Amino acid sequence: MVVALTAADVVAATGGRLAAGDEKTPIGRISIDSRSLAAADFFVAIQGERFDGHAFAAEALNLGAAGVLISDPASVPADTSALVIQVRDTTQALQDLSRWIRRKSGSQVVAITGSAGKTTTKEICAELLSTRYRVFRNKGNLNNHIGLPLSLLDLREVPDVAVVELGMNHPGEIRTLVGIAEPEVRVWTNVGDAHIGFFKSVDAIADAKAEILESARPEDVLVVNANDGRVMSRIASFKGRVVRFGTDVDGDVVARNVKLRGLEGTSATVRTPAGEFELKSPLLGLGNLSNILAATAVAVTMNVPPAAIAERAGSLRPSHHRGELLRLPGGVTLVDDSYNSSPAALQRALETIAAANGSARKVAVLGQMLELGEHARRLHEECGRAAARAGLDVLVAVGGDDARELAAAAIAGGMPSGAVFHVPGKTQAVDVALQRVRPGDLVLVKGSRGIGLDLVVDRLRAEFA
Protein backbone atom coordinates (compact mmCIF):
# COMPACT_ATOMS: atom_id res chain seq x y z
CA MET A 1 0.00 0.00 0.00
CA VAL A 2 1.17 3.50 -0.86
CA VAL A 3 -0.46 6.85 -0.10
CA ALA A 4 -1.34 8.19 -3.56
CA LEU A 5 -1.10 11.94 -3.99
CA THR A 6 -2.57 14.24 -6.61
CA ALA A 7 -2.47 17.98 -7.17
CA ALA A 8 -5.98 18.18 -5.71
CA ASP A 9 -4.74 16.50 -2.52
CA VAL A 10 -1.90 19.02 -2.21
CA VAL A 11 -4.35 21.89 -2.66
CA ALA A 12 -6.66 20.45 0.00
CA ALA A 13 -3.85 19.70 2.46
CA THR A 14 -2.19 23.10 2.16
CA GLY A 15 -5.18 25.38 1.66
CA GLY A 16 -3.59 26.56 -1.56
CA ARG A 17 -5.05 27.21 -4.99
CA LEU A 18 -4.44 25.60 -8.35
CA ALA A 19 -2.85 28.46 -10.33
CA ALA A 20 -2.10 26.32 -13.42
CA GLY A 21 -2.28 22.73 -14.55
CA ASP A 22 -4.58 19.79 -13.89
CA GLU A 23 -5.76 18.90 -10.39
CA LYS A 24 -5.61 15.20 -11.34
CA THR A 25 -1.84 15.36 -11.91
CA PRO A 26 -0.17 12.67 -9.79
CA ILE A 27 2.51 13.85 -7.37
CA GLY A 28 5.59 11.67 -7.07
CA ARG A 29 8.73 12.54 -5.12
CA ILE A 30 8.69 15.92 -3.42
CA SER A 31 11.90 17.97 -3.37
CA ILE A 32 13.09 21.34 -2.09
CA ASP A 33 16.47 21.12 -3.86
CA SER A 34 16.51 21.89 -7.58
CA ARG A 35 20.09 20.55 -7.79
CA SER A 36 18.91 16.99 -7.16
CA LEU A 37 15.60 17.30 -8.97
CA ALA A 38 14.59 14.45 -11.24
CA ALA A 39 12.02 14.57 -14.02
CA ALA A 40 8.45 14.30 -12.68
CA ASP A 41 9.45 15.44 -9.17
CA PHE A 42 7.31 18.08 -7.45
CA PHE A 43 9.34 21.12 -6.38
CA VAL A 44 8.52 23.12 -3.25
CA ALA A 45 10.09 26.58 -3.25
CA ILE A 46 11.17 27.06 0.37
CA GLN A 47 12.25 30.49 1.57
CA GLY A 48 15.20 30.03 3.94
CA GLU A 49 17.51 32.39 5.79
CA ARG A 50 20.23 32.09 3.13
CA PHE A 51 18.28 31.10 0.03
CA ASP A 52 14.91 31.40 -1.65
CA GLY A 53 13.69 28.43 -3.64
CA HIS A 54 11.56 30.71 -5.77
CA ALA A 55 14.73 31.69 -7.62
CA PHE A 56 14.82 28.10 -8.93
CA ALA A 57 11.13 27.44 -9.56
CA ALA A 58 11.22 28.21 -13.28
CA GLU A 59 14.40 26.17 -13.64
CA ALA A 60 12.67 23.24 -11.92
CA LEU A 61 9.92 23.31 -14.54
CA ASN A 62 12.51 23.46 -17.31
CA LEU A 63 14.17 20.38 -15.81
CA GLY A 64 10.92 18.46 -16.18
CA ALA A 65 9.39 18.80 -12.75
CA ALA A 66 5.77 17.64 -12.51
CA GLY A 67 4.94 20.95 -10.90
CA VAL A 68 5.88 23.54 -8.32
CA LEU A 69 4.48 24.84 -5.07
CA ILE A 70 5.13 28.58 -4.68
CA SER A 71 4.01 31.67 -2.80
CA ASP A 72 5.34 34.17 -5.35
CA PRO A 73 3.49 33.89 -8.69
CA ALA A 74 6.20 35.97 -10.41
CA SER A 75 8.67 33.10 -9.94
CA VAL A 76 7.19 31.10 -12.86
CA PRO A 77 6.11 32.18 -16.34
CA ALA A 78 2.58 33.59 -16.36
CA ASP A 79 1.63 31.49 -19.41
CA THR A 80 2.95 28.15 -18.13
CA SER A 81 0.78 25.10 -18.64
CA ALA A 82 2.69 23.16 -15.98
CA LEU A 83 1.24 22.39 -12.57
CA VAL A 84 1.52 25.39 -10.26
CA ILE A 85 0.04 25.46 -6.76
CA GLN A 86 0.13 28.77 -4.94
CA VAL A 87 0.07 29.09 -1.15
CA ARG A 88 0.61 31.89 1.34
CA ASP A 89 3.71 30.33 2.96
CA THR A 90 5.57 27.43 1.37
CA THR A 91 7.21 26.27 4.61
CA GLN A 92 3.85 26.13 6.36
CA ALA A 93 2.41 24.34 3.33
CA LEU A 94 5.20 21.74 3.46
CA GLN A 95 4.39 21.16 7.13
CA ASP A 96 0.67 20.90 6.44
CA LEU A 97 1.22 18.46 3.59
CA SER A 98 3.48 16.25 5.69
CA ARG A 99 0.88 16.18 8.47
CA TRP A 100 -1.78 15.19 5.91
CA ILE A 101 0.40 12.33 4.68
CA ARG A 102 1.25 11.31 8.25
CA ARG A 103 -2.48 10.98 9.00
CA LYS A 104 -3.27 9.16 5.75
CA SER A 105 -0.48 6.64 6.32
CA GLY A 106 -1.91 5.30 9.57
CA SER A 107 1.66 4.71 10.78
CA GLN A 108 2.40 5.01 14.46
CA VAL A 109 4.88 7.78 15.20
CA VAL A 110 7.54 7.73 17.92
CA ALA A 111 9.04 11.20 18.47
CA ILE A 112 12.23 11.71 20.48
CA THR A 113 13.61 14.88 22.03
CA GLY A 114 16.34 15.67 24.54
CA SER A 115 19.52 17.68 24.92
CA ALA A 116 21.82 14.77 24.11
CA GLY A 117 21.51 11.37 22.49
CA LYS A 118 18.46 12.02 20.30
CA THR A 119 19.92 10.55 17.15
CA THR A 120 21.45 7.56 18.92
CA THR A 121 18.20 6.87 20.78
CA LYS A 122 16.31 7.13 17.49
CA GLU A 123 18.61 4.63 15.82
CA ILE A 124 18.47 2.18 18.74
CA CYS A 125 14.70 2.50 18.96
CA ALA A 126 14.34 1.78 15.25
CA GLU A 127 16.60 -1.25 15.58
CA LEU A 128 14.62 -2.72 18.47
CA LEU A 129 11.25 -2.06 16.86
CA SER A 130 12.39 -3.56 13.56
CA THR A 131 12.44 -6.99 15.22
CA ARG A 132 8.62 -6.85 15.04
CA TYR A 133 7.57 -4.02 12.69
CA ARG A 134 8.37 -2.35 9.38
CA VAL A 135 10.12 0.78 10.62
CA PHE A 136 10.95 4.14 9.06
CA ARG A 137 13.51 6.44 10.71
CA ASN A 138 14.30 9.96 9.62
CA LYS A 139 17.73 10.27 8.05
CA GLY A 140 20.61 11.83 9.95
CA ASN A 141 19.35 14.70 12.04
CA LEU A 142 16.56 15.99 9.80
CA ASN A 143 14.77 17.18 12.90
CA ASN A 144 13.77 20.81 12.44
CA HIS A 145 10.78 22.66 10.97
CA ILE A 146 11.86 21.72 7.43
CA GLY A 147 13.75 18.45 7.96
CA LEU A 148 10.96 16.76 9.93
CA PRO A 149 8.27 17.46 7.31
CA LEU A 150 10.57 16.22 4.56
CA SER A 151 11.05 13.02 6.56
CA LEU A 152 7.34 12.50 7.16
CA LEU A 153 6.69 12.69 3.42
CA ASP A 154 8.29 9.22 3.26
CA LEU A 155 5.33 7.85 5.22
CA ARG A 156 3.63 7.54 1.85
CA GLU A 157 5.24 4.07 1.90
CA VAL A 158 3.10 3.29 4.97
CA PRO A 159 5.55 1.75 7.46
CA ASP A 160 4.10 0.28 10.63
CA VAL A 161 6.12 2.68 12.76
CA ALA A 162 8.03 5.90 12.11
CA VAL A 163 10.77 6.91 14.57
CA VAL A 164 11.74 10.57 14.32
CA GLU A 165 13.71 13.05 16.38
CA LEU A 166 12.64 16.57 17.28
CA GLY A 167 15.37 19.18 17.62
CA MET A 168 15.25 22.74 18.84
CA ASN A 169 17.38 25.69 19.88
CA HIS A 170 14.59 28.18 20.60
CA PRO A 171 11.31 28.07 22.54
CA GLY A 172 8.26 27.10 20.51
CA GLU A 173 10.07 24.84 18.07
CA ILE A 174 9.20 21.54 19.77
CA ARG A 175 5.56 22.65 19.93
CA THR A 176 5.56 23.15 16.17
CA LEU A 177 7.19 19.77 15.52
CA VAL A 178 4.80 17.90 17.82
CA GLY A 179 1.93 19.52 15.96
CA ILE A 180 3.32 18.22 12.68
CA ALA A 181 4.24 14.69 13.77
CA GLU A 182 1.29 14.07 16.13
CA PRO A 183 3.18 11.21 17.82
CA GLU A 184 1.50 8.35 19.65
CA VAL A 185 4.71 7.79 21.62
CA ARG A 186 6.86 10.66 22.88
CA VAL A 187 10.34 10.20 24.34
CA TRP A 188 12.11 12.81 26.48
CA THR A 189 15.65 11.60 27.09
CA ASN A 190 17.21 14.35 29.23
CA VAL A 191 17.86 18.04 29.76
CA GLY A 192 21.37 19.44 29.37
CA ASP A 193 23.36 22.48 28.40
CA ALA A 194 23.40 22.07 24.61
CA HIS A 195 22.32 25.35 22.89
CA ILE A 196 22.27 27.15 26.26
CA GLY A 197 23.51 30.25 24.45
CA PHE A 198 19.93 30.71 23.20
CA PHE A 199 18.43 30.42 26.70
CA LYS A 200 18.78 32.08 30.10
CA SER A 201 19.36 28.80 31.95
CA VAL A 202 19.16 25.03 31.80
CA ASP A 203 15.72 25.31 33.39
CA ALA A 204 14.63 27.45 30.44
CA ILE A 205 15.86 24.69 28.13
CA ALA A 206 13.80 22.21 30.15
CA ASP A 207 10.72 24.39 29.78
CA ALA A 208 11.20 24.47 26.00
CA LYS A 209 11.73 20.70 25.84
CA ALA A 210 8.56 20.25 27.91
CA GLU A 211 6.57 21.28 24.83
CA ILE A 212 6.84 17.55 23.97
CA LEU A 213 4.03 17.07 26.52
CA GLU A 214 1.53 19.28 24.74
CA SER A 215 -1.60 18.32 22.77
CA ALA A 216 -1.47 14.73 24.01
CA ARG A 217 -4.39 12.35 23.75
CA PRO A 218 -5.31 10.06 26.68
CA GLU A 219 -4.05 7.02 24.77
CA ASP A 220 -0.63 8.56 24.02
CA VAL A 221 2.50 7.38 25.81
CA LEU A 222 5.34 9.45 27.26
CA VAL A 223 8.69 7.75 27.89
CA VAL A 224 10.83 9.75 30.33
CA ASN A 225 14.20 9.60 32.08
CA ALA A 226 13.55 9.00 35.78
CA ASN A 227 17.17 9.93 36.56
CA ASP A 228 16.65 13.48 35.28
CA GLY A 229 15.07 15.72 37.90
CA ARG A 230 14.27 18.51 35.45
CA VAL A 231 12.36 16.10 33.23
CA MET A 232 10.47 14.49 36.09
CA SER A 233 9.43 17.83 37.62
CA ARG A 234 7.64 18.82 34.43
CA ILE A 235 5.60 15.77 33.39
CA ALA A 236 2.53 16.17 35.62
CA SER A 237 0.60 17.95 32.85
CA PHE A 238 0.87 15.03 30.41
CA LYS A 239 -2.58 13.65 29.65
CA GLY A 240 -1.54 10.14 28.57
CA ARG A 241 0.37 7.23 30.11
CA VAL A 242 3.88 7.78 31.48
CA VAL A 243 6.60 5.11 31.23
CA ARG A 244 9.73 5.81 33.30
CA PHE A 245 13.21 4.47 32.57
CA GLY A 246 16.49 4.82 34.41
CA THR A 247 19.33 3.32 36.39
CA ASP A 248 18.77 2.24 40.00
CA VAL A 249 15.52 4.20 40.26
CA ASP A 250 11.85 3.49 40.86
CA GLY A 251 10.62 3.09 37.30
CA ASP A 252 9.11 0.83 34.66
CA VAL A 253 12.29 -0.02 32.74
CA VAL A 254 15.22 -0.07 35.15
CA ALA A 255 18.86 -1.12 34.87
CA ARG A 256 20.57 -2.58 37.90
CA ASN A 257 23.96 -4.22 38.46
CA VAL A 258 25.42 -1.84 35.89
CA LYS A 259 28.98 -2.60 34.84
CA LEU A 260 30.98 -0.18 32.71
CA ARG A 261 33.36 -2.38 30.73
CA GLY A 262 35.45 0.46 29.33
CA LEU A 263 35.95 0.08 25.61
CA GLU A 264 34.05 -3.21 25.65
CA GLY A 265 30.76 -1.47 26.36
CA THR A 266 28.22 -1.83 29.14
CA SER A 267 26.29 -4.62 30.84
CA ALA A 268 23.33 -4.55 33.22
CA THR A 269 20.28 -6.43 34.40
CA VAL A 270 17.22 -4.72 32.93
CA ARG A 271 13.80 -5.10 34.51
CA THR A 272 10.71 -4.35 32.40
CA PRO A 273 6.96 -4.89 32.82
CA ALA A 274 7.29 -7.76 30.31
CA GLY A 275 10.16 -9.49 32.11
CA GLU A 276 13.84 -9.19 32.96
CA PHE A 277 16.84 -9.66 30.69
CA GLU A 278 20.60 -9.40 30.78
CA LEU A 279 21.89 -6.55 28.65
CA LYS A 280 25.36 -6.63 27.15
CA SER A 281 25.92 -3.79 24.72
CA PRO A 282 29.05 -2.73 22.83
CA LEU A 283 27.98 0.93 23.02
CA LEU A 284 30.23 2.95 25.32
CA GLY A 285 29.34 4.66 28.58
CA LEU A 286 26.41 5.51 30.82
CA GLY A 287 25.00 7.96 28.29
CA ASN A 288 24.48 5.17 25.79
CA LEU A 289 23.03 2.92 28.48
CA SER A 290 20.41 5.60 29.08
CA ASN A 291 19.71 5.73 25.34
CA ILE A 292 19.25 1.95 25.27
CA LEU A 293 16.88 2.07 28.23
CA ALA A 294 14.78 4.76 26.54
CA ALA A 295 14.52 2.67 23.38
CA THR A 296 13.77 -0.45 25.45
CA ALA A 297 10.89 1.37 27.14
CA VAL A 298 9.45 2.22 23.73
CA ALA A 299 9.93 -1.33 22.45
CA VAL A 300 8.32 -2.97 25.48
CA THR A 301 5.41 -0.54 25.28
CA MET A 302 4.93 -1.67 21.68
CA ASN A 303 5.04 -5.37 22.61
CA VAL A 304 8.57 -6.28 21.51
CA PRO A 305 9.63 -9.28 23.64
CA PRO A 306 12.53 -8.75 26.09
CA ALA A 307 14.48 -11.61 24.51
CA ALA A 308 14.37 -9.87 21.12
CA ILE A 309 15.50 -6.61 22.74
CA ALA A 310 18.45 -8.31 24.45
CA GLU A 311 19.56 -10.00 21.25
CA ARG A 312 19.39 -6.88 19.10
CA ALA A 313 20.97 -4.67 21.78
CA GLY A 314 23.99 -6.96 21.79
CA SER A 315 24.74 -6.15 18.15
CA LEU A 316 24.17 -2.38 18.20
CA ARG A 317 26.75 -0.17 16.56
CA PRO A 318 27.06 3.62 16.90
CA SER A 319 26.26 5.91 14.01
CA HIS A 320 29.10 7.44 11.96
CA HIS A 321 31.17 9.93 14.04
CA ARG A 322 28.92 9.38 17.10
CA GLY A 323 31.07 7.41 19.50
CA GLU A 324 32.47 4.94 16.96
CA LEU A 325 35.21 2.72 18.35
CA LEU A 326 37.86 2.28 15.65
CA ARG A 327 40.76 -0.09 16.24
CA LEU A 328 43.20 1.09 13.59
CA PRO A 329 45.67 -1.37 12.00
CA GLY A 330 48.58 0.84 13.04
CA GLY A 331 47.89 0.19 16.71
CA VAL A 332 45.80 3.23 17.66
CA THR A 333 42.38 2.87 19.28
CA LEU A 334 40.23 5.80 18.21
CA VAL A 335 36.92 6.90 19.73
CA ASP A 336 35.37 9.01 16.97
CA ASP A 337 32.77 11.27 18.58
CA SER A 338 33.48 14.15 16.23
CA TYR A 339 29.92 14.78 15.02
CA ASN A 340 28.99 17.14 17.85
CA SER A 341 29.62 18.07 21.45
CA SER A 342 28.10 19.70 24.51
CA PRO A 343 29.51 20.07 28.01
CA ALA A 344 27.47 17.25 29.53
CA ALA A 345 28.16 14.90 26.63
CA LEU A 346 31.89 15.73 26.67
CA GLN A 347 32.16 14.99 30.37
CA ARG A 348 30.48 11.61 29.87
CA ALA A 349 32.90 10.81 27.04
CA LEU A 350 35.85 11.71 29.25
CA GLU A 351 34.50 9.46 31.99
CA THR A 352 34.36 6.60 29.49
CA ILE A 353 37.99 7.19 28.49
CA ALA A 354 39.01 7.38 32.13
CA ALA A 355 37.33 4.02 32.82
CA ALA A 356 39.17 2.27 29.98
CA ASN A 357 41.44 -0.49 31.25
CA GLY A 358 45.00 -1.12 30.12
CA SER A 359 48.23 0.76 29.92
CA ALA A 360 47.48 2.79 26.79
CA ARG A 361 48.32 6.47 26.79
CA LYS A 362 45.14 8.55 26.68
CA VAL A 363 44.93 11.38 24.18
CA ALA A 364 41.99 13.74 23.62
CA VAL A 365 41.45 16.17 20.76
CA LEU A 366 38.60 18.36 21.99
CA GLY A 367 36.92 21.03 19.91
CA GLN A 368 35.32 24.19 21.19
CA MET A 369 31.64 23.79 22.03
CA LEU A 370 29.42 26.29 20.25
CA GLU A 371 26.08 27.95 21.06
CA LEU A 372 26.86 28.30 24.77
CA GLY A 373 26.57 32.09 24.90
CA GLU A 374 27.52 33.80 28.16
CA HIS A 375 27.99 30.39 29.81
CA ALA A 376 30.75 29.35 27.42
CA ARG A 377 33.81 30.23 29.48
CA ARG A 378 32.54 28.59 32.67
CA LEU A 379 31.45 25.41 30.87
CA HIS A 380 34.73 25.09 28.99
CA GLU A 381 36.63 25.50 32.24
CA GLU A 382 34.52 22.74 33.83
CA CYS A 383 35.35 20.45 30.93
CA GLY A 384 39.04 21.31 31.20
CA ARG A 385 39.01 20.21 34.82
CA ALA A 386 37.14 17.03 33.79
CA ALA A 387 39.87 16.37 31.21
CA ALA A 388 42.49 16.57 33.96
CA ARG A 389 40.49 14.17 36.16
CA ALA A 390 40.26 11.72 33.26
CA GLY A 391 44.01 11.11 33.48
CA LEU A 392 44.82 12.26 29.96
CA ASP A 393 48.42 12.06 28.82
CA VAL A 394 47.90 14.54 25.96
CA LEU A 395 45.17 17.14 25.41
CA VAL A 396 44.68 19.17 22.24
CA ALA A 397 42.07 21.92 22.61
CA VAL A 398 40.84 23.28 19.27
CA GLY A 399 39.16 26.61 18.66
CA GLY A 400 39.09 30.18 19.95
CA ASP A 401 39.22 31.73 23.41
CA ASP A 402 36.87 29.15 24.94
CA ALA A 403 39.11 26.29 23.82
CA ARG A 404 42.06 28.18 25.29
CA GLU A 405 40.21 28.37 28.62
CA LEU A 406 39.57 24.62 28.48
CA ALA A 407 43.29 24.01 28.02
CA ALA A 408 44.19 26.39 30.85
CA ALA A 409 41.71 24.74 33.21
CA ALA A 410 43.18 21.32 32.42
CA ILE A 411 46.63 22.59 33.40
CA ALA A 412 45.22 24.19 36.56
CA GLY A 413 43.57 20.84 37.28
CA GLY A 414 46.91 19.07 37.30
CA MET A 415 47.90 18.23 33.72
CA PRO A 416 51.52 19.13 32.85
CA SER A 417 51.67 22.23 30.68
CA GLY A 418 53.86 20.37 28.20
CA ALA A 419 51.08 17.84 27.64
CA VAL A 420 48.40 20.43 26.80
CA PHE A 421 48.15 22.19 23.44
CA HIS A 422 45.81 24.88 22.21
CA VAL A 423 45.40 25.39 18.46
CA PRO A 424 43.00 27.68 16.58
CA GLY A 425 41.57 25.23 14.06
CA LYS A 426 41.24 21.75 12.66
CA THR A 427 44.26 21.99 10.33
CA GLN A 428 46.60 22.76 13.21
CA ALA A 429 44.87 20.08 15.29
CA VAL A 430 45.76 17.54 12.60
CA ASP A 431 49.41 18.61 12.75
CA VAL A 432 49.62 18.27 16.54
CA ALA A 433 47.72 14.97 16.57
CA LEU A 434 50.01 13.44 13.95
CA GLN A 435 53.04 14.62 15.93
CA ARG A 436 51.83 13.34 19.31
CA VAL A 437 49.74 10.21 18.69
CA ARG A 438 51.70 6.98 18.52
CA PRO A 439 50.92 3.26 18.29
CA GLY A 440 49.27 1.91 21.41
CA ASP A 441 47.42 5.16 22.21
CA LEU A 442 43.73 5.55 23.02
CA VAL A 443 42.46 8.70 21.31
CA LEU A 444 39.16 10.55 21.85
CA VAL A 445 38.12 13.10 19.19
CA LYS A 446 35.09 15.21 20.09
CA GLY A 447 33.89 18.72 19.24
CA SER A 448 31.02 20.80 17.95
CA ARG A 449 30.14 20.15 14.33
CA GLY A 450 31.28 23.61 13.30
CA ILE A 451 34.85 22.90 14.44
CA GLY A 452 35.20 20.10 11.88
CA LEU A 453 37.20 17.54 13.85
CA ASP A 454 36.15 14.75 11.52
CA LEU A 455 39.20 15.93 9.56
CA VAL A 456 41.39 14.85 12.49
CA VAL A 457 39.68 11.46 12.47
CA ASP A 458 40.22 11.05 8.74
CA ARG A 459 43.91 11.94 8.94
CA LEU A 460 44.55 9.64 11.91
CA ARG A 461 42.81 6.80 10.09
CA ALA A 462 45.01 7.38 7.06
CA GLU A 463 48.19 7.68 9.14
CA PHE A 464 47.60 4.50 11.13
CA ALA A 465 45.98 2.42 8.38
Which has the closest alpha carbon to 356: 392, 330, 385?
392
Higher-pLDDT residue of 432 and 63 is 432
pLDDT value of position 133: 98
| Arithmetic mean of pLDDT, 302-324 | 94
CA gap 280, 288 in Å, rounded: 12
Residues 75 and 154: beta-carbon distance below 8 Å: no
197 class by beta-carbon count within 10 Å (0-12 exposed, 13-18 middle, 19+ buried)? middle
CA gap 206, 444 in Å, rounded: 29
Query: What residue type is 102 in one-letter code?
Result: R
Residue spans of the domains in the chain: they are 7-88, 106-313, 324-463
Which of helix, strand or coil describes residue 115? coil
Length of the chain: 465
CA gap 13, 7 in Å, rounded: 10
Give 181-210 pLDDT, tens digit per residue: 999 999 999 998 888 888 889 999 999 999
Give 8-41 pLDDT, tens digit per residue: 999 999 999 999 999 999 999 999 998 888 888 9
Residues 283 and 296: beta-carbon distance below 8 Å: no
| Domain pair 106-313 / 324-463, same fold | no
| Average pLDDT of every residue of the chain | 95
Parallel, antiparallel or unpaired: strands 324-327 and 333-337: antiparallel
- Is the per-residue pLDDT at 141 higher than 80? no
pLDDT grade for 48, boundaries at 50, 70 and 90 = confident
What is the phi/psi pair of residue 440, to 5°? 95, -10
Query: What residue type is 451 in one-letter code?
Result: I
Give 142-161 pLDDT, tens digit per residue: 889 999 999 999 999 999 99
**Burial per residue of 394-409, b for 16 or more beta-carbon CB atoms within 10 angstroms, e otherwise:** bbbbbbeebbbbbbbb
Instruction: Give the domain 324-463 fold.
Output: Protein-Tyrosine Phosphatase; Chain A (3.90.190)
CA gap 346, 315 in Å, rounded: 25
CA gap 29, 38 in Å, rounded: 9
**Burial per residue of 109-140, b for 16 or more beta-carbon CB atoms within 10 angstroms, e otherwise:** bbbbbbbbbbbbbbbbbbbbbbeebebbbbee
CA gap 373, 394 in Å, rounded: 28
> 281-285, 392-396, 453-457: lowest mean pLDDT where?
281-285
Q: Which residues contact 164 (CB under 8 A, 6 or more apart)?
A: 109, 110, 111, 112, 122, 137, 138, 143, 148, 151, 152, 181, 183
Q: How would CATH label the architecture of 7-88? A: 3-Layer(aba) Sandwich (3.40)
pLDDT value of position 405: 98
CATH code assigned to 106-313: 3.40.1190.10
